[in-house]
């Protein structure tokens, strides 16, 4: 969020003075009034600021988080030390060991209430729209170590004490994917793995082959079955008296790859009306 400011020049100030107090312009030095600025937009992360614990969560350590007016004022008036991490790339982590090494390099021994300022060099991009996406971040372990040394105020010239949020989110996503891979590596999932298509498979039985013919063409199979049932009904009405006296209930036709009713699963004799070449392929299903 950018700071937005409205500016009023000296001429506008003179007009305000005349309107408010009745003092004419000619009585003012150089005929000018005061110049003023009005801040119309100022967010939490605008300019130099302090994030109180309340900024992060309403409860910290099991207690209500402190707001900025509840923090001791002496925390903010104390000696400070700058640690140089300008060589860090965007998204890099500043660890406890690196902090200790940098403090040793500058010859500073931390004392309680020292203010530690991390210099990343990203303040040079403060006016850029991608400023929140730049900079390194201090790890939780390093932050905890500073707290244990008595440090209460820590500062950084990046947008956040943490690393850029989009990079942290990507890192968390990769970590979760790796965790899933580890879980899958330990789990007995072979039962869910399809067999190798190149491996030889046992020769299917008649029933298996019929089902394999039906499943991939389910929509077409339903249409053909309806048409086949109509033809079977026509066939039953024109059947011979001996066929009509048969007490055996005809089995519904399975039409995996041919709509002809000659492929009846009960393997009955083909009616004379369907003694044609199409029915000669029945042997293939045996």
- pLDDT tens digits, residue range 62-103? 999 999 999 999 999 999 999 999 999 999 999 999 999 999
Are residues 135 and 90 in contact, defined by beta-carbon separation less than 8 angstroms?
A: yes
Residue 232, classed as helix, strand or coil, is helix
pLDDT of residue 206: 41
Rounded Cα distance between 182 and 164, Å, is 27
Q: Does the structure show a pLDDT above 90 at 207?
A: no
Query: How does 87-113 read in b/e, with b if 16+ C-beta sit within 10 Å?
Result: ebebbbbbebebbeebbeeeebebeeb
Per-residue model confidence (pLDDT) at position 244 = 44
What global pTM score does this model have? 0.55
Percent of the chain with pLDDT over 70: 62
Check residue 1 and give its pLDDT. Answer: 65
CA distance 35 to 45: 27
pLDDT at 160: 87
Highest mean pLDDT among 216-220, 221-225, 234-238: 234-238
pLDDT digits (tens, 9 = 90+) for 144-158: 999 999 999 999 998
Residue 266 carries which DSSP code? Answer: T
Q: Where are the alpha helices (DSSP H) in the chain?
A: 10-21, 53-56, 96-106, 140-148, 165-186, 206-214, 218-237, 241-244
Strand 59-60 and strand 63-64: the pairing is antiparallel
Q: What is the DSSP letter of 100?
A: H
Least confident of 47-56, 178-187, 209-218, 248-257: 209-218
Statement: residue 123 has pLDDT above 50 = yes
State the sign of the Cα–Cα–Cα–Cα dihedral 21, 22, 24, 27: negative
Give the distance from CA 20 to its chain's centroid: 56
Q: What confidence category does residue 166 fall into, taking pLDDT thresholds of 50, 70 and 90? A: confident
- Cβ pair 145, 96 in contact under 8 A: yes
More confidently predicted of 23 and 275? 23
Residue 49: closest CA among 145, 157, 165, 166: 157
Mean pLDDT, the chain, as a whole number?
75
Distance between CA atoms of residues 66 and 52, nearest Å? 7
Q: What is the mean pLDDT of residues 100-111?
A: 97
Q: Is the pLDDT of residue 213 over 80?
A: no
Q: What is the mean predicted confidence (pLDDT) over 234-240? A: 61
Give the pLDDT confidence score for residue 128 in this predicted structure.
Answer: 87
């Amino acid at each position: 969020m950018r700071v937005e400011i409205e500016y009023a020049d000296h001429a506008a100030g003179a007009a305000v003075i005349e309107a408010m107090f009745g003092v004419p312009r000619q009585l003012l030095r150089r005929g000018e009034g005061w110049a003023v600025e009005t801040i119309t937009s100022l967010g939490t992360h605008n300019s130099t600021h302090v994030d109180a614990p309340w900024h992060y969560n309403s409860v910290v350590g099991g207690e209500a988080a402190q707001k900025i007016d509840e923090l001791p004022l002496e925390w903010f008036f104390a000696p400070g030390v700058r640690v140089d991490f300008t060589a860090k790339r965007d998204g890099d982590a500043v660890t406890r060991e690196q902090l200790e090494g940098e403090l040793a390099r500058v010859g500073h021994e931390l004392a309680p209430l020292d203010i530690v300022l991390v210099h990343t060099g990203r303040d040079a991009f403060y006016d850029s729209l991608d400023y929140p996406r730049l900079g390194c971040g201090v790890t939780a372990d390093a932050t905890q170590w500073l707290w244990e040394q008595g440090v209460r105020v820590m500062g950084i010239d990046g947008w956040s004490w943490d690393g850029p949020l989009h990079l942290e989110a990507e890192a968390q996503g990769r970590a979760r994917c790796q965790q899933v891979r580890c879980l899958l590596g330990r789990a007995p999932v072979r039962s869910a793995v399809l067999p190798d298509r190149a491996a030889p498979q046992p020769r299917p039985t008649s029933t298996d082959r019929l089902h394999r013919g039906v499943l991939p063409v389910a929509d077409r199979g339903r249409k053909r079955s309806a048409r086949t049932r109509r033809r079977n009904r026509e066939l039953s009405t024109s059947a011979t008296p001996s066929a009509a006296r048969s007490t055996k209930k005809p089995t519904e036709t399975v039409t995996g790859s041919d709509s002809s009713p000659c492929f009846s699963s009960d393997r009955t004799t083909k009616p004379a009306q369907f003694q044609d070449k199409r029915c000669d392929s029945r042997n293939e299903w045996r």
